[in-house]
Copies of this chain bind each other. A is one copy, B any other.
Amino acid sequence: MIEGVLETALYADDLDKAEAFYGGVLGLEIIRRGGNRHIFYRCGSGVLLIFNPDETEKPIENDPFPVPPHGARGPGHACFVVSRDDVDAFAAKLSASGIAIEQQVTWRSGTRSIYFRDPAGNSLEIAPRNLWNP
């Protein structure tokens, strides 16, 4: 019955730095920021949620939308889709913004992934959509 992933979550302790990175450098469209708790971004047909675990691990009480507590620590991972033609341009844009390219991996199919870090240390990747459908 599951048709896909709707929300992908990463954790960051400094949401100001996260907003400068995900909105400013990566260029994602913000949906909304909730104070020091979260920033939500539209990302294609899905949504990227950046959470401050110090806040999301607190149980929500007396609220009409009592989502369960959660909150991870340490570097997570997510991979974003870019078109095959945009991989090099995207890497150049990162470098121009002072974001180091940590690694480039060429898979057996010839598809390339580029790895970098967000300010919280999460390991991010960009790759063409055919990475998993070579």
Chain A residues in contact with chain B, CB under 8 A?
1-9, 11, 26-28, 31, 42-49, 51, 53, 56-57, 65-83, 86, 89-90, 93, 102-103, 105, 107, 113, 115, 117, 122-123, 125-127, 129, 131-132
Contact = CB atoms under 8 A, between A and B. Distances in A.
Given A1-B93, A9-B76, A72-B74, 16 more contacts: A1-B90, A3-B80, A5-B5, A5-B79, A5-B81, A6-B127, A6-B129, A11-B72, A56-B77, A65-B107, A67-B125, A71-B74, A71-B75, A72-B72, A72-B73, A73-B74
A44 B123 contact: no
Given A1-B90, A6-B129, A129-B45, A123 B80 contact: no
A29 to B, nearest CB: 10
Contacts of A27: 1-2
Name the 4 nearest CB pairs between A and B, nearest first.
Answer: A4-B44, A7-B79, A70-B123, A72-B72
